[in-house]
């Protein structure tokens, strides 16, 4: 046997595991929103607003018609009806972007399109439907202001439209455009270097031979990072080699996620590297799966050491790395999963002192735990509809108990 | 006045409006899933699977260790405990991708890492934590099969893993990679040509002058189309000019969305163009806003004529164009909005025979209708948390009534 330093956990097991709550408390204390960048509207949907947006203009910037029809003095329609058509004298057109230039006198009307500026001298729009087509005679009465959109009725100059932290919606982009914004201040997206280690691995899309394994974590974690608003830097697999892993830890990034080699085996190099060259704050967490997870820092980067086991990697990503990526990117720390409450079809057993991540299916409104031996069955997370968390102060849930499920889809 | 053909609605109003139900029935009858393309795993998250996925391999392809520790014959641990350490004779290592080559005899053990192949002659793994580090003596008993992951325990060759129509999740990509897939058969993404018309418009990001308006629909609809799985072809604003609009309708696409000029005004060219050169199946729908909406076909393309008014464009997009884009792309036709049920703080009035799209806020668990005059107030959709639909057979909802809200965010 090799000899290891005294504080090395390799081939000794974790002397003590941190609780999930302790690990999250440290993580939250070091996860800070990134700075701001300017993003074009075209790419701003789903991004997080970094500063308040206040309009400097009125929208609309002028009184406008809300209908296709005829702009006129409302008083000129007094008494008009289908039985008493009142002919209008049409003196011109007002089109969107091309207003009627003159002033309209009593008894006159201007043909007007929806959105077109109201001509001077008019105070209402008689919709086209209420005008006899051949004779342009009014067939109905309108009151002053009818079918007119007033200047600033949508947005008044000086109004605060959006607060920081807002997840920009499609219609927000429309509003931003209408006040003349072509770009928005958005929280920068966390740059995440993904370091997938394991000499047994071949890249996704390769056919593994003999005792090789095709990399499942690279595609899965890339998609999760993007879901949480990060950008992925994943240049390829990394050998179980200290120098190669150390070089990866030195990448230009906000977050480094290392998968594989996070535990107490002889090839588990990453924890020692982070301890030696950075700060390994948490190593070993009282949860199942994902117990051999490490959290730390390397320079200004947050480092997550995830087990290579794909279910453990998924669970540890969701508990720790995803949360930090969301917070760095200005998002809510909470999981982006919807929840469902229902009764358990069978009991879920756990141990006091350990948090459990139990995959479940929803069957006819009831929550059915999947019978899974280990943490290595990735297909359990694709057969499952979601998962139930058993907190570390619980021995589990009885059959029939109402529990909350976090839904994957 | 110009003279228009007899069936032309321009400046006459709609003779009859279609119901939303009629419009959707026609739309659903002509909306068919697009064909299949091969997509790399890296880009497959959120895409729709077009064919079943059946594994041709076992995962894992060999028995493997589920822990870091020592592979051995379980029988060799009989009687081991902290008070009775039983020394192990370690004859080699089994690493992931690099198995122990020989056969292990009784009384021997192989140091093994999680995921590494089980050596011949072993039937259990004693975790590292239960082995005295200096003397490599067993401190606990394991039973046969303990901490061993059996070949095919995750996925057996021949198993159907995913069915067509599945929205691919991050972990699905991991499973697909683990069975050797580098690509997946996915439903093609609908190609959507966006035609934003209006001579009064300037592109998003421009400062409008005088009676110009900055385009709100382009950025908003682009984001909505992408949300629904379509790809956007939006080369820029189009003048209110028949030849220019006709050329846009001839674009290479699955769907064309035209905004502006969809109503009964003199500049509303698109309906006539679609009627003349294609099929204008629906024009005028009994709903508020979005009444001047047209649905039709142009060659093999579905065509949506949306009002230029941004709230109307949003509503008509969500009712019609978005639904078709989702169905063409293999998705569920339903809105991608979550719902919330609660009591109304104030009544919502509507008219029998017309469907209403009422924007609302959620305040302390209650649903508060926004007081909005017209359809032109886009900021109402950014102040709102969502909307309530009043069906066309209803006069509205009383204060206190429990109603369902569709949430924008």
The structural domains of chain A, with segments of one domain joined by +, span 20-34+189-328, 36-59+162-187, 64-149, 338-407
CA A235 from chain centre, in angstroms, equals 24
**Residue listed under structure tokens 């031979």:** A209
State the CATH architecture for B338-407.
Answer: Beta Barrel (2.40)
Cross-chain residue pair B173–A220, CB shorter than 8 Å: yes
3-state secondary structure of B340: strand
Confidence tier at A19 by pLDDT (50, 70, 90)? very high
Give the separation between CA A59 and CA B379, rounded to whole angstroms.
10
Percentage of chain B surpassing pLDDT 70? Answer: 95
Per CB-CB distance under 8 Å, the chain B contacts of A133 are 1, 11-12
Between the CA of residue A137 and those of A85, A118, A205, A316, what are the distances in Å?
Answer: 5, 20, 72, 73
Give tens-digit pLDDT for B312-367. 999 999 999 999 999 999 999 999 999 999 999 999 999 999 999 999 999 999 99
Which residues in chain B touch residue A213, judged by CB atoms under 8 angstroms apart? 60, 96-97, 115, 178
pLDDT tens track for B250-306: 999 999 999 998 887 667 899 999 999 999 999 999 999 999 999 999 999 999 999
Mean pLDDT across the stretch B75-101?
96
Residue B176's Cβ-side half-sphere holds a number of Cα atoms within 13 Å equal to 27
Distance from CA of B56 to the nearest CA of A (A): 11
Distance from C-alpha of A39 to C-alpha of A229, rounded to nearest angstrom: 14
- The angle at the Cα of B113, spanning B112 to B115, to the nearest 5 degrees, equals 115
Q: Which member of A97, A267, A381 has the closest CB to residue B211?
A: A97
CB nearest to A214's CB, from B172, B177, B217: B177
**B227 contacts in chain A (CB < 8 Å):** 45, 170
pLDDT for A3 equals: 44
Q: For residue A1, what pLDDT is reported?
A: 36
**How far is residue B147 from each of residues A152, A382, B106, measured CA to CA in Å?**
70, 23, 18
Residue B296 CA to residue B275 CA, distance in Å, equals: 8
Number of CB pairs < 8 Å for A and B? 317
ipTM of the modeled complex:
0.93
Task: Give me the mean pLDDT over the A300-320 stretch.
Answer: 96
Q: Do residue B310 and residue A174 have CB atoms under 8 angstroms apart?
A: yes
Check pLDDT > 90 for residue A114. Answer: no
Write down the architecture of domain B64-149 according to CATH: Beta Complex (2.170)
Model pLDDT, residue A267: 74
CATH superfamily of A20-34+189-328: MoaB/Mog-like domain (3.40.980.10)
Q: Write down the mean pLDDT value for chain B.
A: 94
The pLDDT confidence band at residue B9, using thresholds 50, 70 and 90, is low
Picking from A42, A96, A409, the nearest residue to B198 by CB comes out as A96
Nearest CA in chain A to B3: A134
Q: Does A205 contact B177 at a Cβ distance shorter than 8 Å?
A: yes
Q: How far is B218 from chain A (nearest CA, A)?
A: 8
Q: Distance (Å, rounded) from C-alpha A136 to C-alpha A87?
A: 6
* Subunit contact B128:A66, Cβ cutoff 8 A: no
Terminal C-alpha separation, chain A: 47
The reply to whether residue B204 touches residue A263, judged by beta carbons under 8 angstroms, is: no
Inter-chain CB proximity A129 and B155 less than 8 Å: no
pLDDT at B148: 96
Q: Chain B contacts of A264, Cβ < 8 Å?
A: 68, 128-129
Mutating which of B177, B208, B306 best tests the A interface, going by the most A Cβ atoms within 10 A? B177
DSSP B301: E
What confidence score (pLDDT) does residue A15 get?
Answer: 72
Residue B3 binned pLDDT confidence (cut-offs 50, 70, 90) = very low
Contact state of B223 with A45 under an 8 Å Cβ cutoff: yes
The percent of residues above 90 in pLDDT, for chain B, comes to 89
Q: Specify the CATH superfamily of domain B36-59+164-187.
A: Molybdopterin biosynthesis moea protein, domain 2 (3.90.105.10)
Distance of residue B166 Cα from the nearest chain A Cα, in angstroms = 10
Q: Which CATH number fits domain B20-31+189-328: 3.60.40.10, 3.40.190.10, 1.10.3720.10, 3.40.980.10?
A: 3.40.980.10
Q: Which among B11, B173, B374 has CB closest to A219?
A: B173
Q: What is the mean pLDDT of chain A?
A: 94
CA distance B403 to B409: 18
State residue A2's pLDDT score. Answer: 42
Instruction: With CB atoms and an 8 Å threshold, state whether B309 touches A11.
Output: no
Contact: B66, A95; criterion CB under 8 Å: no
**What is the pLDDT confidence band of residue A355, given thresholds at 50, 70 and 90?**
very high
Q: How far apart are CA B329 and CA B201, in angstroms?
A: 31
A12 falls in which pLDDT band (50, 70, 90)?
A: low
> Taking CB atoms and an 8 Å limit, are A133 and B222 in contact across chains?
no
Q: Do B115 and A68 touch (CB under 8 A)?
A: no
Kindly list the residues from chain B whose CB atom is less than 8 angstroms away from the CB atom of residue A179.
214
- The 3-class secondary structure across chain A, one letter per residue, is CCCCCCCCCCCCCCCCCECHHHHHHHHHHHCCCCCEEEEEHHHCCCCEECCCEECCCCECCCCEECCCEEEECHHHHCCCECCECEECEEEEEEECCECCCCECCCCEEEEECCCCECCECCCEEEEHHHEECCCCEECCCCCCCCCEECCCCCECCCCEEECCCCECCHHHHHHHHHCCCCEEEEECCCEEEEEEECCCEECCCCCCCCCCEECCHHHHHHHHHHHCCCEEECCCCECCCHHHHHHHHCCCCCEEEEECCCCCCCCCCHHHHHHHHCEEEEECECEECCCCCEEEEECCEEEEEECCCHHHHHHHHHHHHHHHHHHHCCCCCCCCCEEEEEEECCCEECCCCCEEEEEEEEECCEEEECCCCCCCCCHHHHHCCEEEEECCCCCEECCCCEEEEEECC
> Which residues of chain B are within 8 Å of residue A216 when distances are taken between CB atoms?
173-175, 177-178
**Strand, helix or coil for residue B144:** coil
Question: Scanning every residue of chain A, which has its alpha carbon at the shortest distance from the alpha carbon of B56?
Answer: A207
Burial-class residue B50 by CB neighbours within 10 Å (0-12, 13-18, 19+).
buried
Whole-model pTM over 0.90? yes
Nearest CA-CA partner of B283 in B313, B307, B267:
B307
For A36-59+162-187, give the CATH class. alpha beta
């Amino acid at each position: 046997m090799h000899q290891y330093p005294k504080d090395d956990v390799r081939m000794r097991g974790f002397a003590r595991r941190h609780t999930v709550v302790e690990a999250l408390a440290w993580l939250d204390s070091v996860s800070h929103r990134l700075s701001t960048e300017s993003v074009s509207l075209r790419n701003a949907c789903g991004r997080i607003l970094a500063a308040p947006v206040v309009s400097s203009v009125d929208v609309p910037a002028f009184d406008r018609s809300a209908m296709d029809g005829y702009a006129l003095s409302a008083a000129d329609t007094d008494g008009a009806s289908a039985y008493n058509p009142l002919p209008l004298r049409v003196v011109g057109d007002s089109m969107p972007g091309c207003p009627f230039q003159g002033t309209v006198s009593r008894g006159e009307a201007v043909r007007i399109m929806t959105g077109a500026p109201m001509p001077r001298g008019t105070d209402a729009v008689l919709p086209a439907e209420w005008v006899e087509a051949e004779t342009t005679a009014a067939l109905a009465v309108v009151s002053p202001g009818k079918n007119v959109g007033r200047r600033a009725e949508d947005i008044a100059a000086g109004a605060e439209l959006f607060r920081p932290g807002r997840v920009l919606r499609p219609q927000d982009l429309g509003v931003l455009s209408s006040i003349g914004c072509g770009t928005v201040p958005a929280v920068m997206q966390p740059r995440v270097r993904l370091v997938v280690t394991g000499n047994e691995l071949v890249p996704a899309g390769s056919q593994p031979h003999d005792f090789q394994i095709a990399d499942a974590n690279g595609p899965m974690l890339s998609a999760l990072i993007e879901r949480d608003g990060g950008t992925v830097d994943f240049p390829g697999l990394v050998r179980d080699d200290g120098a190669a892993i150390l070089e990866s830890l030195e990448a230009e990034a906000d977050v480094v996620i290392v998968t594989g080699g996070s535990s107490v085996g002889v090839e588990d190099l990453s924890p020692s590297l982070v301890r030696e060259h950075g700060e390994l704050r948490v190593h070993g967490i009282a949860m199942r799966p994902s117990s051999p997870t490490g959290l730390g820092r390397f320079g200004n980067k947050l480092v997550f050491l995830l087990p290579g086991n794909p279910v453990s990697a998924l669970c540890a990503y969701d508990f720790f790395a995803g949360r930090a990526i969301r917070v760095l990117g200005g998002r809510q720390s909470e999981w982006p999963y919807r929840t469902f409450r229902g009764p358990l079809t069978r009991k879920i057993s756990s141990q006091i002192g350990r948090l459990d991540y139990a995959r479940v299916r929803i069957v006819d409104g009831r929550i059915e735990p999947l019978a899974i031996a280990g943490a290595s069955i990735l297909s359990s997370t694709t057969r499952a509809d979601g998962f139930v968390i058993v907190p570390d102060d619980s021995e589990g849930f009885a059959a029939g108990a109402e529990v909350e499920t976090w839904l994957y889809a």
